[in-house]
Amino acid sequence: MTLSILKKSSFSLRSGLIATTMVALAACGQQQSNTEDPSAQAPTEAAASMDVNVYSGRHYDSDIVLFDAFTEETGIKVNVIEANGDALIERIAREGEASPADIFITADAGILWRGEQRGIFRSTSNEMLEKGVPSQFRHPEGKWFGMTKRARIVIYNKDMGLPEGLKDYADLADPKYQGMICVRSSSNIYNQSLLASIIAHEGEEAAEEWARGVVANFARKPQGNDTAQIEAVAAGLCRIGIVNSYYVARFVGSDDSEKAEIGEKLGVLFPNQDGRGTHVNISGAGVMTYAPNPENAEQLLEFLLRDETQGAFALGNNEYPIAVGVEAEGPVAALGQFKADDLPVTNYGINQPTAIRIFDQVGWP
């Protein structure tokens, strides 16, 4: 396996990454991964000098392909354990000084903040990481760094049309959109981070008023993940949905005719283009406080942020590259360019407790 696989066109790369993953895992067996049980046995010889141990809340075959490419280039073996982000934080905290974890990777700055509160990250001073990741997408003390980006966008049923006057997140609370909105539960970290950003921009009172207005406009009680919202909007069960961009890209770029047909029924709105810009979140990673192989960990993070790997890393989940100067590829690029909110994502964690309290107060299930 070589880095040449990372330079294919966007659509062939996506399928090539997954196919190569299956072959690599079957032939080499180099990664140890558990996607169900966060208490699974840790990699053996965890402190081996030529290993790096990744606890990952991301579950994408394309990540494993990149880890394989890193191993081929450096000789450093990558051991992977996959589970829910919060479960992995708990595991790392419980393992303490004995933890074999070198890197924790997860989706959403709000979960990174939870890990930070548990003390699992060490501060990392690394010129390449600091240069490659814009300051708004990394911890000010180097405890974690954004690896990819995603936007929280509004979708609508094309046949029904974009409701008149809908441009910004604030508009979603307008009573004229009563009975139109499908969205996930308030327990979902993506919604918590969106509300946390509104708190940062507009204050608690305005954020509560917004959340209360959105609840009044629900087409149904929140249920399912972002895929469920997309399917509901396409079916006309609701006219508007709030989802992450990569979920939409999965349908738009799908080789499955039924999924692609659903994607064709969706219109996309990037909110707040005349103001602060669309809410953007990250997948991010940091080096662990008790990492047995911190130098190897930094080397892997550097590898994932290189120009020739960033595109593939982001494309594997239809996200946007975070490294300066690397352009988006594939289905997510087809959604169009947009102005992004430049709010530091650390605010999503800082305001998370307040966001959760507001959701409870307004009755957002």
CA distance 329 to 200: 31
pLDDT (0 to 100) of residue 206: 98
H-type alpha helices, 118-187:
127-132
CA distance 119 to 117: 5
> 320: which 2 tokens?
């946007």
pLDDT (0 to 100) of residue 48: 52
pLDDT (0 to 100) of residue 41: 52
Q: Give the angle subtended at the CA of 265 by the CAs of 260 and 266, to the nearest 5°.
A: 100
pLDDT (0 to 100) of residue 254: 97
Q: What is the pLDDT of residues 22-66, one digit of tens each?
A: 333 333 333 434 444 444 555 544 445 679 999 999 988 999 999
> Is the C-alpha dihedral spanning 353, 322, 285, 55 positive or negative?
positive
Query: 268: closest CA among 333, 216, 222?
Result: 333
CA distance 243 to 321: 19
pLDDT (0 to 100) of residue 49: 66
Q: Give residues with Cβ within 8 angstroms of 182, minimum separation 6.
A: 218, 219, 220, 222, 228, 229, 232, 233, 237, 238, 240, 241, 242
Q: Which domains does the chain have, with CATH numbers?
A: 3-149+281-327 (3.40.190.10), 150-279+337-362 (3.40.190.10)
Output DSSP code: residue 146.
E
pLDDT (0 to 100) of residue 259: 98
Average pLDDT per 10 consecutive residues for the chain, totaling 365 residues: 40 41 35 44 53 95 96 97 97 98 97 98 97 97 98 98 98 98 98 98 98 98 98 98 98 97 98 98 98 98 96 95 94 97 98 98 98
> Is the C-alpha dihedral spanning 188, 39, 79, 54 positive or negative?
positive
pLDDT (0 to 100) of residue 324: 87
CA distance 271 to 314: 22
